[in-house]
Structure 1
């Protein structure tokens, strides 16, 4: 999980938020949250998702321009994308773009500063998952 928090206790404005999400390839979908799909046209498997950082975590698409939120949560589930490391890299890139566009900062799942060490720990967990999946495959 990567959280994008507004700096200084501010909020992200809905119109800016919508423009940035669409520019990042996010599509509104199931569970009233945004998803990044394997294909740019919104088809294929979900690579990662983004929820509103304010409970209940959903977005109202009809009123998104008027929405204000102090936080966004990007997350990826395993098993999920066929290439989890690539999906995580895209999720990190998307979180960085949103933070830059909206004037936010990256935080980890505990809302501490997202450091390179934290990101590397996430990558190690994905590599471990991939290793376990390979070990489960039958040998021909």
Structure 2
């Protein structure tokens, strides 16, 4: 029983690592100001559509840190230049605590919403690509149920 559980956990960890892009992380890179540009939300691009559009100002870049960011200026309403700019890029260093999050920060005297995430192309419109984790949990439950049925306790 113990050996089968170790094998199942190992397989799950490998699949989660591959699915969430920990092996080869890329980030979207772009910047839009105001209503102009394609970097703002809703962000409808994907890695394939970006390659197909010649001269597209949005790119997909390799990210050695494994962490991407999405930064939105003017998050406090019209008095703060609402929607002034949206930028997506690689985060050069991982956060010290290793936590994915969104927080209001002061950058260049502007209140900015900064979201950091870990995983392949995670800085798209979704703040975190949580569906990878739902798939992993479902897979884990299936494997453990199967293992419980074939190995007597």
Q: TM-score, normalised by structure 2?
A: 0.27
Task: Provide TM-score, normalisation by structure 1.
Answer: 0.29
Q: Higher helix share goes to which structure?
A: 1
Highest Rg: 1 or 2?
Answer: 2
